Structure 1
Amino acid sequence: MKIDLLFAEIGSTTTVLTAFHFGFKPKVIAQAEHWTTVNEGDVTIGIERALRKIKEQLGEDISWERFAATSSAAGGLKMTVHGLVYDMTVRAAKEAALGAGAVIKYVTAGKMDEFHLKKVESIQPKLILLAGGVDYGESETVIHNAKMLAKLPLDVPIVYAGNVAAAEQVEFILTNAGKKVYVTENVYPRIDYLNVEPTRNVIKEVFAEHIVKAPGMDKIKDMVNYEIIPTPAAVMITTELAYEHFGDCLTIDIGGATTDVDSVTDGSPEIQEMLISPEPFAKRTVEGDLGLYVNAHNVIEMIGEENLRKQFENYDELVKRISPYPATERDEYFISKLAMFCAQQGLRRHAGSKKHLYTPTGRKTIAEGKDLTAVRVIFGTGGFLSRSKHAKEVLESLKHLSKLHPMELLPSEEISLYRDKHYIFAAIGLIASKIDKDIAKQLLEMDVELY
């Protein structure tokens, strides 16, 4: 059988292979999946095994006109942060990492020493953030730390987001040591002022580069007809496409390593008047610490082990058996509790908030961050939200968040919930951007199902 497109979504946990026929009415011919074979040193092994399953489903061999892929197989982006003053550094780093796909594993304040270097080396971060000093303030510490990081025996990109007066010298020190350096604006340019967006954008760029670097990906680059793009970016494109049909909307994608939220909305006129800084019309956040398999331990820690033990008598067994393919109904229900936390936290982190300021003329309410109050449609995608029988319960829980957190700019209870029933949002995004937007629209209309 000859198919029009074979598409692989190579996730951190599973690889999903989908065969598409375009013709007069685009449709999914077959779909199969397998563990992503990162641990076997080659992600193409998982693709080959999924392909065998598709051939078994169809009962015949297949060939394809085009092959395409998206990837998030390298999981979350481990990051260490090094600055001048602990409170300032931690606060700035958390804000910068928020939504950029990074997981902060280690933070230092003040001058680094050999102990700190050994600690960083043991963590094996994929990114280092160097900050410190307000603009044109103290620069000795950040220059010292640059010299220490220059000795680090790791090929790790370093983002410099500190005192602008030291930027040129820091870049010179690190570049001469063979490090890849990204210089951006100071995350803390003056006292009590955070400037995290430029740093966050750089972290997102590094994340986008990192998640397509799983073992064996070079082989896939030779196989595909189009550039491999990060799965979160493809899902963002699908959400933008959905906006054209559904209006203000957002997508929640819960994966094995990350929880991604994509929103397409200008927000409500009322909130727009309160906003103190502009937000993008289409915004994507990648929560690198919220996942159902690779980062399940992070989620359990945030929920609280004791809370889960109260609900599940066989908690220890359930934790050992965490898998993208739950063995029992109880396993799936346990995973649903993690998924509910991921969905709620992912949405809340994505949303902005209102704050009260007290001025000489009285109280004034301001808003900052992404306004989701005009969103009327939420899509659920990813292995859990596309397929689990508990997905509706998880999405339904989002309806109540605005009442529980009235100062946050969350969607109201009047939202419609849809699922990506064929688990093809990433494929639709790639098709829309690389192949044919009209075909992508038809697939989207065929795919989404109202809960």
Structure 2
Amino acid sequence: MKIDVLVAEIGSTTTVVNAFNNINSPDPVFLGQGQAPTSVLEGDVRIGLNSAIDDLAENLNAQSIEYTEMIATSSAAGGLKMTVHGLVYDMTARAAKEAALGAGAIIHQVTAGKLRRTDLKKIEEIHPNIILLAGGVDYGERDTAIYNAELLAGLNLPIPLIYAGNVENQEEIKLIFEGTNYKLYIVDNVYPKIDELNVEPTRKVIQDAFEEHIIHAPGMEHVRDLVNGPIIPTPGAVMESSKLLYEKIGDVMVLDVGGATTDLHSVTKGSEEVERILVSPEPLAKRTVEGDLGVFVNMPNIVKQIGKEILEKELGLNIDNIMQTYKAIPKNPDEVKFVERLTKEAVLRAVERHAGKIRNVYGPSGRSSLAEGKDLSEVRYIVGTGGALTRLPNRVSIIESIAKNNHTGLLLFPTAEAEILIDNHYIMASLGVLSKVHKDAAFKLMCDSLEIDEKYFLKGEEDVS
């Protein structure tokens, strides 16, 4: 069987391939999916990829698969591990962190101010894939970033290093890293002025650097024998899908509840009213990762957060028995009920941590209001993806509980008017990387998966400005 595009999602444990045909026509088609265990730890990613393609052939009743293009997302080999170093935690360090998260990174260290010996020791222990160095607004403080650059140069690691700080330091930075093992990237400042974020240029370079680096990672050296298009981090691919939806249909939030983490992506400017009282700027596209909110690997954490006794009373189940027998995918009504409650908790806690809030302060002139964090009140569409929110029977009511959980009215949550959409084909990550080479097809396929009519939006009947 001939396939136009295969998209491989190379995960830490499972490799999935999604097949698409008619990719250059007005009506691209999602044909089906194959999967197999990831084989990076066996020393060759091709074993798992070829097995997933064989599984796809079997699912499509085909003897073999021939493809024109293969593109990929990857969270294998530890994903995209990064360390981030800025000047002031609430300013340049936070801006750099936002850039890294939005690109799909797993951040293992964030420092602010001058690096210490203990920080350098930790960087060596982490073995990051990429280091991001920032610091100082343009034409502002210079010395801290230069000091940190000199210390990092002393580590002489054979990895990409991205400088996204004060523009005045760029030539000095080039000299510092000249002759080192680092591959240096110079990017526009992530925080060029007070209260101004500029994270997108850095996000793009992070993904470019990841693609260049990942093909040299152990077990991934031969990935280019099969993959002949872009390779980006899997969470970054979901962000690409989120940004495409924002461009086409308006303010959006994407929830991805997994076995180990819950990722939340939002692309929204928020309301003008909140923007006027916002304490510090937020990026248009924001991603947060909650490493304690997974419904399988981190199941005990969520049970503890809710309270086992409360859960047993609420569900009428013996929680210890359920936890002993549950193996990643619910197999009976009791397990479904249990996982749905864990998923609801993961969704509510993740939104609570991602969203901003209104804070009342009191001074000589009386009470005034300030806003902190990301304003989600203008979100028009909430998308559920990931295993839990694409497969559980009550996935829509779980997402509906978000607006109902804003008891004080001071949390900057989406409202009850936000429309809920489900990634029924579970292909948001694949379509994110697909959008980099076939944007129109990716949007059409996304609309099919979300069960919305793309023609309505393409006619311009919706204002997405």
Fold similarity call, TM over 0.5:
yes
Match of residue 124 from structure 2 = 121
Q: Distance between the aligned counterparts of 1:66 and 1:440, measured in 2?
A: 17
Partner amino acid for 1:423?
A: Y
Q: Distance between the aligned counterparts of 1:194 and 1:50, measured in 2?
A: 47
Q: How far apart are residue 412 of structure 1 and its match? A: 0.6
Match of residue 9 from structure 1 = 9
Match of residue 152 from structure 2 = 149
- Taking a change above 3 Å as real, the CA distance of residues 353 and 76 of structure 1, as seen in their structure-2 partners, is farther
Partner deviation per Cα, 1:276-335 (whole Å, 9 max, x = no partner)? 787666x242537467489x55x966x58575655487669949x886556777776666
Q: Identify which of 371, 374, 388 aligns with 1:384.
A: 388
Q: Identify which of 374, 379, 388 aligns with 2:378.
A: 374
Match of residue 46 from structure 1 = 48
Q: Identify which of 102, 107, 112 aligns with 2:116.
A: 112
Match of residue 58 from structure 1 = 60
- Taking a change above 3 Å as real, the CA distance of residues 157 and 244 of structure 1, as seen in their structure-2 partners, is closer
Q: Distance between the aligned counterparts of 2:349 and 2:165, measured in 1?
A: 29
Partner amino acid for 1:19?
A: A
Aligned-pair identity (%): 36
Q: Identify which of 407, 411, 414 aligns with 2:410.
A: 407
Match of residue 202 from structure 2 = 202
Partner deviation per Cα, 1:155-182 (whole Å, 9 max, x = no partner)? 3444557788877655533444333445
Q: How far apart are residue 27 of structure 1 and its match? A: 3.9
Partner amino acid for 1:16?
A: V
Q: Is the 1:267–1:371 contact (alpha carbons within 8 Å) kept by the matching residues of 2?
A: yes
Q: Distance between the aligned counterparts of 2:260 and 2:357, measured in 1?
A: 26
Match of residue 289 from structure 2 = 287
Q: How far apart are residue 64 of structure 1 and its match? A: 3.7
1:422-437 map, 5 Å? 422-435=425-438, 437=440
Match of residue 443 from structure 1 = 445
Q: Distance between the aligned counterparts of 2:339 and 2:210, measured in 1?
A: 27
Q: How far apart are residue 61 of structure 1 and its match? A: 0.9
Match of residue 175 from structure 2 = 172
Q: Distance between the aligned counterparts of 1:58 and 1:337, measured in 2?
A: 35
TM-score, reference length from structure 1: 0.73
1:254-333 map, 5 Å? 254-255=257-258, 259-268=262-271, 270-271=273-274, 274=277, 283-285=285-287, 287=289, 289=291, 292=294, 296=297, 305=304, 307=306, 310=309, 311=311, 318=323, 325=329
- Taking a change above 3 Å as real, the CA distance of residues 126 and 229 of structure 1, as seen in their structure-2 partners, is closer
Q: How far apart are residue 5 of structure 1 and its match? A: 3.6
Match of residue 71 from structure 1 = 73
Partner amino acid for 1:58?
A: L
Q: Distance between the aligned counterparts of 2:106 and 2:35, measured in 1?
A: 27
Q: Is the 1:72–1:231 contact (alpha carbons within 8 Å) kept by the matching residues of 2?
A: yes
Q: Distance between the aligned counterparts of 1:181 and 1:137, measured in 2?
A: 21
Q: How far apart are residue 436 of structure 1 and its match? A: 6.6
Q: Is the 1:268–1:371 contact (alpha carbons within 8 Å) kept by the matching residues of 2?
A: yes
Q: Distance between the aligned counterparts of 2:307 and 2:65, measured in 1?
A: 48
Partner amino acid for 2:18?
A: T
Partner deviation per Cα, 1:350-370 (whole Å, 9 max, x = no partner)? 544445566776655454654
Q: Distance between the aligned counterparts of 1:331 and 1:10, measured in 2?
A: 28
Q: How far apart are residue 120 of structure 1 and its match? A: 2.9
1:226 aligns with 2:245: no
* Uncovered stretches (5+) of structure 1, i.e. residues with no partner: none
Match of residue 419 from structure 1 = 422
1:19 aligns with 2:16: no
Q: Is the 2:84–2:111 contact (alpha carbons within 8 Å) kept by the matching residues of 1?
A: yes
* Uncovered stretches (5+) of structure 2, i.e. residues with no partner: 313-317, 453-465
Q: Is the 1:253–1:259 contact (alpha carbons within 8 Å) kept by the matching residues of 2?
A: yes
Report the RMSD for the aligned CA atoms in angstroms.
4.8
Q: Is the 1:103–1:288 contact (alpha carbons within 8 Å) kept by the matching residues of 2?
A: no
TM-score, reference length from structure 2: 0.71
Q: Is the 1:76–1:288 contact (alpha carbons within 8 Å) kept by the matching residues of 2?
A: no
Match of residue 458 from structure 2 = none
Between stretches 329-338 and 10-19, larger displacement belongs to 329-338
Q: How far apart are residue 422 of structure 1 and its match? A: 1.3
